[in-house]
Chain A
Amino acid sequence: MSGYAAPFERTTIRRWREESLAVDTAYRTIANWQGAIGMAILLVLLIAAVFADVIAAYGEAEQVRGSHLVGPSWQHLFGTDNLSRDIFSRVLFGLRISLWVSAAAVLGGGSLGTLFGFFAGYAGGWTETILMRFVDTLLAFPILLLGIAILAVLGTGTQQVALALGIAQVPYFARLARAQMLAEKERDYVLAAQSLGAPPHRIIFRHIATNTLPPLLVQGALAMAFAVIIEATLSFLGLGASPPTPTLGIVLSEGRRWLTSGIWWWVVFPTVALALLVLSLNFLADAVVRAIDPHRRNG
């Protein structure tokens, strides 16, 4: 990097940070060691997942005759499974599907839950009470059980898993969004806007939504990490995507049966991929929490 460009960049970033809370939060997130590591890992995994077609030497379910249960080598970086499939390729494609499933679930279920919670919190009174009792009811069922029941209704498949996990996310986001709304509703700027006669939806979207976004992002990252694990567990219970489609959970639950016979590569590599994904999301969430902490912000 040339010495000429650096000061310019630094001042530009500072100016952006001063103008926008979002940029400031993002900057603080990445400036934190956890945030930096989390972001770096997540980026690598995202690239690996998005370009799986290019990076993987074999198809997601391609059987390479004669390569039955071979350990890691240059030809098969992560070894092969008992159907002679390349585990490296399956992990890449599996990563893609696991990411897709969990992101879709959290984006879908999260937005729905957030809107629900905002509305309940904003409306208040009986509307709020009734809506939140529905949320509580949904919350009372553990996510995994809810997932099992929903998949039993919908049948197995990637989209079904995403939908089941999405539905299970709704109450958590609804609760959080409502709590945020309650806290923000009493703030001076909202009261001021209200007294000036600003219409309700504008208040919600302009003021409250932007202020409550970071905590929801934190929840989103954690929920996504959790969704990846739940997807894996559902696969273990035989309710995941349809074979031979790989997800990290499917590769793991297939490989798990071979672990004690010394076939370690079938478990270790997908586990590392999964753990890195969960780790990066957790790190990012932690970093965001620190970045939005007002006490730290002033320091």
Chain B
Amino acid sequence: MSDRNYWQRTKKRQISRRSMLQASARAGIGAAGLALIGCGDDDDGQQQAAPAAAQVQQQQQEQQQQAAVAQAQQQQAGPKQGGTMRVGTGRALAEHQAAFPFGAWGEAFPLYAPMLEGLTRYGKTLEPEPRLAESWEFNDDQSALQVKLRPGLEFHDGKPLTAEEVKRSYEANIAEGAPASQVAGVIRQYIDNIEVVDKTTLTFNLAWKGTYIFDVFEYSNVADVDNLPELDGYQRVNGSGPFKFDQPSYRVDEFHRMERFENYYEPANLDAIECFTFPDESAMALALEADEIDFTNVLPHPQHDQFQENPDIELQLGGPVDSIFVIGMTLKTEAGGSEHFDNPILRQAMQRVIDRERIVDELLAGLATTRNVLWAEHNPAYDPARDYEYFNLEEARELVTKAGYGPEGTPMLKIATFGGPQQEILELVQQDAALAGINFEVDRQEFNIYLERFLGGTHTDGYTSHFGFFQLHPPTLPIINYQMRTPVNACAYDSPEYQAIIEAWKNAETDADRAATNERFNTLWDNEQWVTPIATANFLFAWNKRINGFSENATGQQRWQDFWLDDTV
């Protein structure tokens, strides 16, 4: 029996899109044979979170089994060597310049991540896995971490990748004149200094005790500091990852090719990865359908139906870890902001006017998960008791009244957006919010203007945005996330209690201290929330049947060396 028949059969059963995608997501994770430790937990979490009925779950399981069988048949042959994977993205390499090589930007991962590698990366949970680092060990009070590199590591040009190089790379992040990056913030905070012990061993002396340091490793890459001047404009990339940059092929905003680096500690299966930038997402979907690209991580939600019918295309929802859609509310400051959202009661009302179910089902094609709280399920600060559906217009109405507004509700507020799914979400919320007395207009701005106001915390009343880094250790969020950090954040929120919580995280000696501080933060959040979570902004991955070896870790990153191409399909 061919694959085609299998697919047609499943389609006739009319399973809801969401259950189908979730099932295939899990099957995919299993088939990749990776990160098995966290897999079970993650499934439980998803099933709890998903409001699916028992019947749907049963269907899911059946489906999962079938998918697993199909995957297993495919798996028998094992990974093949060779071939080129053509990746389509909506982003261009040049856009990633400012933070390169240290930053992290989910949408642009395929463009640059294959060229660079870090010391460790998380698996399915906040449990680090070895990459350039072979092993690591904390001292007794967790104030220092000794890292041992794999033997014989090299940069792409053959230069040895030693402990000294790693130290230089980290120091370059925070050196005077270094490009601004989010990772630089956590390096400054968490690391006191770095000592080289020998050629392959180095010690990180920590300013914040504990495992926070792995958050740094998750998003930082080891780069050749001597290469930095030539990195500007991608004149030359001397990277540390499984694929090396083919400079002559580089066409700004259009194309670049990366070839397998043979001396990588775990050489990749593919010969090369080619990246194509598509300014029009609908055209990218058509290119995938026409077999002109093999893989994309940013398939637009509207295109989902087009592929559900297509037997040659695999679809997979990214885990609930990539980033989430939120509405941020700006507090009043001298520089601007909202006198209305200055009132925390009105902010609480906002949390209750958002029909997350409808947003997921109707705007995100069922290909997302509702989010009621900030933290990812695997995060130590995640509290299942707080994770319930907040949508309640009556409650919201009462809160608006309590906040001091009459039957007309608030005056017309302005909530900013720069288009895309965020704008649609805002438009959807608008009608319900008005029913509860929160009146706002959608203020569409050019990205440039939006960004300036976002960074300065001066949006008139509020804004829509993506929210990331909630998968990491809780204290990383106020350091790295624009909407959470102090003293300047996108919402202009700051309070003595918030400062005290951050200080408590910093000074925590034991896990019990940390847990207590997490709870303290969550209590503050219940009352003061300045950012309302809505739904996962999951990346929708799609690839043709020749591509295998996909995986996604706790922060939504892939292992590019694992991809392999099966030409027989």
Q: Enumerate chain A interface residues (CB-CB to B < 8 A).
A: 61-63, 68-69, 82-84, 152, 155-156, 238-239, 242-244, 256-263
Question: Given A82-B363, A83-B362, A261-B303, do A243 and B442 touch, yes or no (CB 8 Å)?
Answer: yes
Residues of A within 8 A of B428 (CB): 63, 83
Residues of B within 8 A of A243 (CB): 423, 426-427, 442, 444
Q: Are A260 and B303 in contact (CB under 8 A)?
A: yes
CA of A259 to CA of B419, assembled, Å: 19
Q: Enumerate chain B interface residues (CB-CB to A < 8 A).
A: 281-282, 285-286, 289, 300, 302-306, 361-363, 418-419, 423-424, 426-428, 430-431, 441-446, 449
Residues of B within 8 A of A238 (CB): 418-419, 444, 446
CB-based A-B contact count at 8 angstroms: 66
The 3 A-B residue pairs with the shortest CB-CB distance, nearest first, are: A261-B305, A257-B302, A261-B306
Smallest distance from the beta carbon of A60 to chain B beta carbons, Å? 12
CA of A155 to CA of B445, assembled, Å: 7
Q: Are A260 and B442 in contact (CB under 8 A)?
A: no
Residues of B within 8 A of A61 (CB): 427, 430-431
CA of A173 to CA of B282, assembled, Å: 37
CA of A262 to CA of B307, assembled, Å: 11
Residues of A within 8 A of B431 (CB): 61-63
Residues of A within 8 A of B442 (CB): 242-244
* Additional A-B contact list (16), CB under 8 Å, known A68-B361, A83-B427, A156-B446: A61-B430, A82-B302, A155-B446, A238-B418, A238-B446, A243-B427, A244-B430, A244-B442, A256-B282, A257-B282, A258-B302, A260-B285, A260-B286, A260-B289, A261-B305, A262-B305
Q: Are B306 and A262 in contact (CB under 8 A)?
A: yes
Question: Given A63-B431, A83-B362, do A260 and B306 touch, yes or no (CB 8 Å)?
Answer: yes
Smallest distance from the beta carbon of A196 to chain B beta carbons, Å? 57
Residues of A within 8 A of B286 (CB): 260
Smallest distance from the beta carbon of B260 to chain A beta carbons, Å? 34
Q: Are A242 and B441 in contact (CB under 8 A)?
A: yes
Question: Given A244-B442, A256-B282, do A84 and B300 touch, yes or no (CB 8 Å)?
Answer: no
Q: Which of chain B's residues has its CB closest to A255's CB?
A: B302
* Neighbour of B445 across the interface among A68, A156, A244, CB < 8 A: A156
CA of A257 to CA of B281, assembled, Å: 8
Q: Are A82 and B305 in contact (CB under 8 A)?
A: no
Q: Which of chain B's residues has its CB closest to A238's CB?
A: B419
Question: Given A61-B427, A63-B431, A243-B427, do A82 and B362 touch, yes or no (CB 8 Å)?
Answer: yes
CA of A82 to CA of B304, assembled, Å: 13
Residues of A within 8 A of B441 (CB): 242
Smallest distance from the beta carbon of B162 to chain A beta carbons, Å? 48
CA of A261 to CA of B305, assembled, Å: 5
Residues of B within 8 A of A261 (CB): 302-306
Q: Which of chain A's residues has its CB closest to B420's CB?
A: A238
Please name 5 pairs of A and B residues whose Cβ atoms are closer than 8 Å in the assembled complex, sorted by A.
A239-B446, A243-B423, A244-B427, A244-B430, A261-B306
Q: Are A83 and B305 in contact (CB under 8 A)?
A: no
Residues of B within 8 A of A262 (CB): 305-306
Residues of B within 8 A of A83 (CB): 362-363, 424, 427-428
Residues of B within 8 A of A257 (CB): 281-282, 300, 302-303
Smallest distance from the beta carbon of A243 to chain B beta carbons, Å? 5
Question: Given A63-B428, A156-B445, A261-B305, do A84 and B282 touch, yes or no (CB 8 Å)?
Answer: no
Residues of B within 8 A of A156 (CB): 444-446
CA of A258 to CA of B305, assembled, Å: 9
